[in-house]
Amino acid sequence: MAQGTVQVTHTGTSRWRRRTGEYASLAAALEAAGDGDVLTVAPGTYRENLVLSRAVTLRGPEGSAAGSVRIAPADGVPLTVRASATVLDLHIEGQDSAAPALLVEDGTAELADLRIVTRSAAGIEVRGASRPTVRRCTVDNPAGVGIAVLDGAGGVFEECEVVSAGQSGVSVRGGAHPRLERCRVHHASGAGLSVTGEGSGLEALGCEIYEVKGTGVQVTSRAAAHLTDSTVHRTSSDGVTLDTDAVLTLSDCDIHDIPENAVDLRSRSVLTLTRSTVRRFGRNGLSVWDPGTRVDANQCEIHDSTGDYPAVWVSDGATAVLDACRIHDVPDALFVLDRGSRADVVDSDLSQVRNTAVSVSDGATAQLDDCRIREVSTGAWFRDHGSGGTLANCTVDGAQTGVIVTKGADPLIERCTVSGPAEAGFYVSAEGRGTFRGCRVTGSGGYGFHVMDGCRTTLSRCRTERCARGGYEFGEDDGPLVEECTSDESGTLRPGPERVPAVQTAPVSPGLLTAVPVQSPAAPAPAAAPAPAGEPARSPDAVLGELDALVGLDSVKREVRTLTNMIEVGRRRQEAGLKAASVRRHLVFTGSPGTGKTTVARLYGEILASLGVLERGHLVEVSRVDLVGEHIGSTAIRTQEAFERARGGVLFIDEAYALSPEDSGRDFGKEAIDTLVKLMEDHRDAVVVIVAGYTAEMDRFLTVNPGVASRFSRTITFRDYEAEELLRIVGQQAEEHEYRLSEGTAEALLKYFAALPKGPAFGNGRTARQTFESMVERHAVRVSALPETSTDDLTLLYAEDLPELS
């Protein structure tokens, strides 16, 4: 067929000009066209569902304005491509929420310069054996997926843009495997890029994903993806997530301005990160969970955290390998937690860390080789029993404390140097262990090595120089084993160099290791043991300010302030040499669900930590199922483990009355209570315990064990929220999520909350938040039906958006 022009008038008359005659519609003309024909479509709106089943070219007229040719049927798929056709310069509109606007089902079609503005299931959908080449196309689909590649399909998308999507910007599933080059995806309500399912894969080069309400890049369920020279930024959730055996490679990528985790992977997923940057993230830069999950980062930079979380978090048996990486300007650099978790860090820099550079706890392992740690509070902290690993050929400069080993942890530290620590080079306490070989401390403001009583530490061929308080300070009982260690102290506190004798098999007396100091008025007072890094940075007033900002809870706020004032005044009296009144810090919280008990418990722990009453102030929340075992003896073990996790913080036992059911019989809950009472007595300053539940049930709980009531002398009652307070919570939620209540909506909400049944199932603040979420959902349904939307349409919540009263 020779090239012709198809023109469809707005009255419905259609003509296809060619020698063989005229056709009643554009669809009829396409049906008559043969392979190789070129169809140039005149400007106009075509209300037809077109199907390209031959290798023709369908295009708008050259030189015409963008969007002059509109394919816009009332329903169904506007354009279906089932052959190796070419489609150029068209504007496609769809209205069918159950069908795509452009469907490619077969062949190697070429699609270029298309603008798809639609409210369809997908803007572009590619499936089956299709392998199209799509260039410079734009998809605007606020109702569904931007681009969907399904069922084994592939193709190349070059310089395409998804400007909005009601779901994922690009969705790849069912074994599909497309390639994206220099594409942009933004303003998607779901993930920017979503790749899911075994055999599914995605390659992206030079792409940008930003301003999405979900995750930037999501790879799940044994899918794989490879992003090169791409950027993910300004998402509302995580930047990149991997789950369930997913595999992702990021090369030369930049992930930044992420409010949650920059990269989160779990469930045996594997991430390879090369020459990439992770910056300005609200939670973890890299968050790695679960056995079999692994991240390998090479020549990467992680920096400028905007939150209070570690830059790299490895837990629950996961593995992280960092090679030639830089981590800086973060609260904490690397946390490794839980038995089976491991981090290997080689030839890397960790600097400008506000708290701890490397923290190893709960049986985890970390190995650092040839690393440089500087400008930190604590260089490395091995925290508890079973935690360990190796530090080899590492340097720590400008720290408060170089390395801390506590509570049975047992690392190997070899050929490491700590320079200029403010307090101690190496500090071992609370039955910490550790082996130190060929280590060196210079210019310490305190001791070089400070090992407390009961710490079976081994020191071999270590050396200290210019340490203000002495090279070595050991406890008097059960001290370390020392071999060929030396001290070369100078300055006012030491008369000169002194050799430390070698000892092979017995602990060494402190007197063998330290010379008698010169008595000098300039000698500093004995320094306290280094405070653990990672303590809450906020003052008591700042935390109380957050408490005051909570809706309602006036009586609760008064009680907490009273407790805080008593503790603070007691501390001041002790500093003045006066007796301080005994303040029982354990509390009973009574009230209905959703009244803020857990939130207040968290803030209470942070207040006590900021006052120096608790070491960390963290919250460990448990219930009956966490404490009570299935057989004799297991309950005591579970309770002790929960207590140990809360050491230095708050143990919050929700629905504590469940430990003492009215018809207890042979129930093991009483064993948990008895164990808890003894632990509270034996470690009265280590943990604050808060028990919570309904008022009547908690009264009964306090009578079960004679020691329980005496441990909890103060009860704080959380009353149910009034309708006005629930309205304030909804208002806060709306403001946080950039919604507004229209005129009359507040009054409707007050009536709604006043009419809600206030039975045992009433959720108080939780109910208010659920009401807001329901309003947002109903608002979305209402607004999605509008052909065009203003800012007011997208932000205003009306009384009609309220859920129905059940």
Amino acid found at 258: I
**Nearest 5°: phi and psi at 695?**
-60, -55
The Cα–Cα gap between 770 and 764 comes to 10
pLDDT for position 21: 45
The Cα–Cα gap between 242 and 219 comes to 5
- Average pLDDT rounded to a whole number, residues 620-631: 78
The Cα–Cα gap between 270 and 249 comes to 8
The Cα–Cα gap between 465 and 172 comes to 61
Q: How confident is the model at residue 529 (pLDDT cuts 50, 70, 90)?
A: very low
- Average pLDDT rounded to a whole number, residues 348-373: 95
| 165: its two tokens | 């999507």
How many Cβ atoms from other residues are within 10 Å of residue 38's Cβ? 15
Q: Is 669 helix (H, G, I), strand (E, B) or coil?
A: helix
CA distances to 535, 545, 615, 652, 673 from 538, rounded to whole Å, are 9, 11, 14, 22, 34
Contacts of 342 (CB under 8 A, 6+ apart): 314, 318, 319, 320, 336, 364, 365, 366, 367, 389
* Each residue's pLDDT tens digit, 153-209: 999 999 999 999 999 999 999 999 999 999 999 999 999 999 999 999 999 999 999
pLDDT for position 724: 86
pLDDT for position 498: 34
Candidates 696, 635, 685, 627; CA nearest to 662 is 696
The most confident of the ranges 13-17, 667-671, 679-683, 795-799 is 795-799
- Average pLDDT rounded to a whole number, residues 709-726: 81
Q: Is 690 helix (H, G, I), strand (E, B) or coil?
A: strand
- The domains located in the chain, with CATH, are 1-215 (2.160.20.10), 238-376 (no CATH), 385-489 (no CATH), 540-717 (3.40.50.300), 723-801 (1.10.8.60)
How many Cβ atoms from other residues are within 10 Å of residue 737's Cβ? 12
pLDDT for position 478: 65
Q: Is 310 helix (H, G, I), strand (E, B) or coil?
A: strand
What residues are paired with 438 via a beta bridge?
Answer: none
- Average pLDDT rounded to a whole number, residues 518-526: 29
26 has a pLDDT exceeding 90: no
- Owner of token pair 């022009």: 5
Q: Three-state secondary structure along 289-311?
A: ECCCCEEEEECCEEECCCCCCEE
- Please give the model's pTM, rounded to 2 decimal places: 0.63
The Cα–Cα gap between 775 and 781 comes to 10
Q: How confident is the model at residue 461 (pLDDT cuts 50, 70, 90)?
A: very high
- Residue with more model confidence, 755 or 496: 755
Candidates 768, 329, 306; CA nearest to 552 is 768
Candidates 499, 568, 510; CA nearest to 539 is 568
**Nearest 5°: phi and psi at 204?**
-130, 130
